[in-house]
Structure 1
Amino acid sequence: MLHRFDSFLASRRRFLQVSAGFGVSLMLPALEGRAAERRGAERATSLITLWMNGGPSQLETWDPHPGTVIGGPTRAIDTSVPGLQIAADLPRMAERMKHLSVIRSLTSKEGDHERGTYFVKTGYRPDPTVTHPAIGAVVPYQLGTDHLEIPAYVSLGGGEWPGRGGYLGDQHDAFRIFEPGNSIQNLRARVSDKRQERRLSGLDVVSQTFRAQRQVQAERSLHGQTIDKALRMMSSEQLEAFEVDQESEATLQRYGDSSFGRGCLVARRLIETGVRSVEVTLSGFDSHANNFETQTARCEQLDPAFASLLDDLRERDLYDSTIILCLGEFGRTPRINGLEGRDHWPGGFSCVVGGGGLKSGQVIGATDPEGEQTSPVDPVPVQNLYATILQQLNIDPAEELITPIGRPLAICEGSLIPKLLVDAG
C-alpha cells in the first residue's frame, strides 16, 4: 500500500483549525522580482501536467483505429500534422497538433490505479523501502523557487494520489486546490491587526517552549516553516494567480465551464507568475463499462481547455519555457468487453507532450490496429519520457539525490528520446 497524504493533510487541517484566527495557510520563498513580467528565454522553465485520472483510452483520444474490430464506433479526424489522425472528439486539438508530439507506445508494468499512478508520476515502481518524489516535485526542488511567495508545486482538481515530495520531504508535496479558480480559504485574518499580532506573539512563546523541549519533533512537524511561509503568502500579490475573477467572460467560456477548464486557466496564471510545476486533474476515465460515452464526455472538457491553454502559452511567449504533458496512469484494452467497456492496459498507451523547446509534430511508436500484438512498435518506457523532459528543463536525470537514510538514488533511470530533442537531429 502506498503512503498517502492523509496524515500530512490531517495535520495541516488541524493546524488551520487551531490558527484560523491568524488567517494562515501554506507556502514559499521571498519575492525579489515580478516573474510575471518575464517572457521567453528570460523566465524560469516550468512543467504543466494534465493528468487524466483513471486511465484514458488511447483509442478514443490520440491513437484511434476506426474501421477495425478494436476501434469501435470512434471516428478519426485529420490534424495539422500530415498523416496524423486523432479522435474526432478532439477537433480543437486536431488543429494544434503541429505544436505538439504524440507518443503512442508508452509502456508500464503497473496495471493497478494506485501503483500505476505512483509509477507514472515518479518514474519508479512502488518500493516498500522508499517513497520516490513525483517529477512535479523534483522540478522546483532542482531548479529553485526564487521570487515566489506562493507554492512552487500546485495540484489543481481532485484525484486520490496527487504528487508527493517523497524522500525530499513533505514540504515538497503538491499544494492541493480542489476547486480551481476560487479564492483560497483561511488567508485573511478574522480579527484586527493588533489582535492578530498579540495572537502571533503568544503562539511564538508556545512554539519556542515546544522547540526547546522537543527539538526533533519540532523540526519534523514543519510547524515553524509553515507559519513563516503562510505569513509571507498572506500578503502576496501573487495570490491573484489562483483566482480567475479578472479574466473576461470570453476567456472563461473558451476554456470551458468545468473544473478542469478553470484548472487549466489557473495553471496558465500560475506559470505566468513563475510557478515551476502545476498538475491539473481531469477525473472519470475509468471506463470498464460504457467506454465510448465515458471517453467522449471527458474529451468534451479536455479539448477546449487543452487547446486554450496551448494558445495562451504561445500567445504570451511562455510556451518555449513551459513543457506541457498530457497523460494518465495507463491506457485501455484493445478488446471491448461485454459491457461495452475497456479494461486496464499499461502495455502500450499514449501521451502528448510539447513546449519547452521540444520537437513538435513528431509521432513516436504505434500500436497494432488489429489488437493482436501485445507490444507496441518502438516502445517508450515512462522513464524515458521523464528523462527527456528533465534534460530539456536543464535537470540531469542521472543526478543522484540522497534519501534521509543516506541512500543515493538517481532522479530518473530512463534514457533520452532522440526524436523529441532538437539537438539530436
Structure 2
Amino acid sequence: MFDSTYLSSKFSRRDLCKVAVGSTLSFMLPGFDLKAAQKRGPERQKSVIVLWMGGGPSQLETWDPHPGTAIGGPGNAIKTVVPGLQISDMYPLLAEQLEGMSVIRSMVSKEGDHERGTKYLKTGYRPEPTTVYPALGAIIIHERPNKSLEIPQHISMGNTQYPARGGYLGGYLDAFRVQDPGKNIGNMRAGVGSPRQNRRLENLDIVSQAFQKGRTIQTKKTLHQSTIDRALTMMSSEQLHAFEIEKEPDSVRKAYGDSSFGRGCLVARRLVEQGVHSIEVNLSGWDSHANNFTGHQTQAKMLDPAFSSLLKDLKARDLLDSTIVLCIGEFGRTPKINPLEGRDHWPTGFSCIVGGGGLKGNVIIGETDPTGKEKKPTEPVQIQDLYATILQNLKIDYKKELISPIGRPLALSDGTPIEKLI
C-alpha cells in the first residue's frame, strides 16, 4: 500500500478528511511518477500476474497431453506456435499466443491436500504450525513497493477459498480481494453528496481521535489509522478506473469472455498498465474426481479465451517484456482414470505455463511417462525453484533473510533458480 505514515506526519486527520472527497491525493504521495506507469518495454518496472487454477487441473487435459495412450483419455493434442510444443485441443486460441512462453511439465510437490497444497504452491514453503508464510505477491510488494499507487498493490480477483496472504510480513500485505471483477466494487465510492460525506468524515475524525487516546500501542498494532487513511485515499483516486471495464471496446470484452475469470484477466491487464505489480486471478472448479473430461471442457471455455487474450493484449501494448505471467494450480491429476471418469490428486509431474518479464521463452522443461507407470518426471521442478527464478528476474534477492515474529531468520525463497528460464 502507499505510505500512510508520510500522510499522517504531514497532514492532520481533519485535513485528510476534507481533501479525500472529490479530489485525488496523488500530489501528496512521495515519488508519484505518472511517466513510470506509462513506460513500456523492458525498462518498465515489472509486474507478476498469477492465473490460479484452484482445485488442480489435469496436466493431461491442458499442457501435457498424451493422446492415444491408456492414460490419455478421449482428448487430442494440437500444435502451438512454439516449435515442438503441443497442448490439449481444448485450447486452440491459446496455442496461437504462446510465443515467448515456456511450459514446465515436471512440477513436483509433497502436498496432495487442497489447503496444504495451495499454501505451499502460493508461498514456496510447506505449511507448518509455527509460521504463516507470505505469498509470492506479498514478498514482491514488501521488497518493491510502488508508493505512487493509491489503490492496493497486491490484488486477488475471483472466488477462492485460500487467497494470497501477507503471512509473517503482516496483514497489510494480504491481497485486496475483488470477488466479481469487472463489476461494481461495493463501497468504493461515497454513497452521498460531498457536503454530507464531509460531515461524516469529520464525525469519524472525532470518533477516531477519541478511540486513540490511551491506545497508541493498540492502534499501531491494528493499523487502525493507516487503514482509514488508505481507504479514504483509494475512494477518491482516479486509479480506481483500472477496475472498470465498461469503456473497453465490446470486441475486447467479448474476446476475454463474459465470465468472472475473463473479466478478471482484462482487469489484470488494466492494473498492470496502472502500475500494480502483483495480481492474482482465480479460476476454481478443477477438482475433477468425477466427469474429468466434460469438466475440463467447461473450464477450457473460460480459460482459453481469457488467457489467450491476456497474452495477446500484453504483447500488443508492449507490456509482456515487463510482465511475468504464471498459470498454475496446487497439483495435477492422476494418469489413471477412475471408475467415475475422473482423475484424482497428483502432486507428482504436473504442469504450468510461465513466461514474460524477461524470462527465457519457448522452453519445454521435463517429461512425464506416457504410460503412467513411472511416477517421477524428468527434470523435476519444485515451486520454490520457480519462485527463486521469478524473484531473481525481478532483481529481488531471493536468499535475503527476514526475521519472523518469533525471531526466526527465513529466506524469501529456499529454492534454486531454473537455469533454462534465465
TM-score computed with the length of structure 1 as normaliser? 0.91
Residue identity in the other structure for 2:83: P
- Partner residue in 2 for 1:239: 240
Of the structure 1 ranges 268-277 and 88-97, higher mean CA displacement relative to structure 2 is found in 88-97
The CA deviation at 1:192 is: 3.5
Q: Is the 8 A contact 2:99 2:361 kept in 1?
A: yes
Equivalent residues of 1:327, 1:350 under 8 A apart: yes
> Could you tell me which amino acid in structure 1 is paired with residue 213 of structure 2?
A
Instruction: State the 1:41 CA deviation.
Output: 3.1
2:98 aligns to what SS in structure 1?
Answer: helix
Deviation, 1:36, is 4.0
Distance 2:93 2:383 in 1: 27
**1:13-162 maps to which residues of 2 (within 5 A)?**
30=29, 32-34=32-34, 35-162=36-163
SS of the residue corresponding to residue 242 of structure 2 reads helix
- The AA in structure 1 aligned to 2:144 is L
Alpha-carbon RMSD across the aligned residues, in angstroms, is 1.9
Q: C-alpha separation between the residues in 1 aligned to 2:343 and 2:254?
A: 32
Amino acid paired to 1:199: R
Deviation at 1:240, TM superposition (A): 0.4
Unaligned runs of 5+ in 1: 1-21
Letter paired with 1:33: D
Unaligned runs of 5+ residues in structure 2 are 1-19
Is contact 1:322–1:356 with CA below 8 Å preserved after alignment? Answer: yes
CA offsets 1:358-405 (integer angstroms, 9 cap, x no match): 111100001000000011111011110110011111111111112223
CA distance in 2, matches of 1:212, 1:407: 34
Q: Note if contact 1:255-1:309 (Cα within 8 Å) is conserved in structure 2.
A: yes
Which residues of 2 match residues 272-283 of structure 1 at below 5 A?
Answer: 272-283=273-284
**Partner SS, residue 339 of structure 1:** coil
Deviations 1:60-79 (A, max 9, x none): 00000001100011100111
Alpha-carbon distance in 2 for matches of 1:234, 1:62: 41
* Percent of paired sites with the same residue: 60
In the alignment, is the contact (CA less than 8 A) between 1:285 and 1:295 conserved in 2?
yes
| Cross-structure match for 2:176 | 175
Write the letter of the residue equivalent to 2:76: R
The answer to whether the 8 A contact 1:43-1:274 is kept is no
Amino acid at match of 2:186: Q
Q: Distance in 1 between matches of 2:99 and 2:239?
A: 33
CA distance in 1: counterparts of 2:368 and 2:389, whole angstroms: 22
Letter in 2 for 1:116: G
- Tell me how far 1:43 sits from its aligned partner: 2.2
1:131–1:167: 8 Å Cα contact kept in structure 2? yes
Q: Which residue of 1 aligns with 2:17?
A: none
Q: Which residue of 2 aligns with 1:333?
A: 334
Q: Larger deviation: 89-98 or 46-55?
A: 89-98
| Partner Cα separation in structure 1 for residue 291 and residue 388 of structure 2 | 36
Contact 2:189–2:236 (CA under 8 A) maintained in structure 1: no
Task: Report the secondary structure of 1:206's partner residue.
Answer: helix
Name the aligned partner's letter for residue 327 of structure 1: I
Residues 168-317 of structure 1: pairs in structure 2 closer than 5 A: 168-317=169-318
Does the C-alpha gap of structure 1 residues 405 and 201 become closer, same or farther in structure 2, counting only changes over 3 Å?
farther
CA-to-aligned-CA distance 1:161-214 (integer Å, 9 cap, x gap): 010000111110000001110232212223333332332222222222322222
One-letter identity of the residue aligned with 1:147 = S
Query: Which whole-Å deviations, capped at 9, do the CAs of 1:195-252 have from their partners, x for residues lacking one?
Result: 3233222222222232222223212222211110111111211100001011010001
SS at match of 2:327: strand
* 8 Å Cα contact 1:107-1:347 kept in structure 2: yes
Q: State the distance in 1 between where 2:270 and 2:179 align.
A: 17
Q: Deviations over 1:64-102 (max 9, x none)?
A: 000110001110011112221110001111122222000
Contact persistence 1:43–1:321 (CA under 8 A): yes
1:325-383 CA distance string (max 9 Å, x none): 00000000000000000000001100000001111110000100000001111101111
Matched AA of 2:42:
A
| Counterpart Cα distance in 1 of 2:37 and 2:133 | 31
Is the 8 Å Cα contact of residues 154 and 277 (structure 1) preserved in structure 2? yes
Q: Determine if contact 2:42/2:358 at 8 Å carries over to the other structure.
A: no
Partner Cα distance (1:190, 1:43) in 2:
37
Q: Would the aligned equivalents of 1:261 and 1:304 in 2 still touch at CA under 8 Å?
A: yes
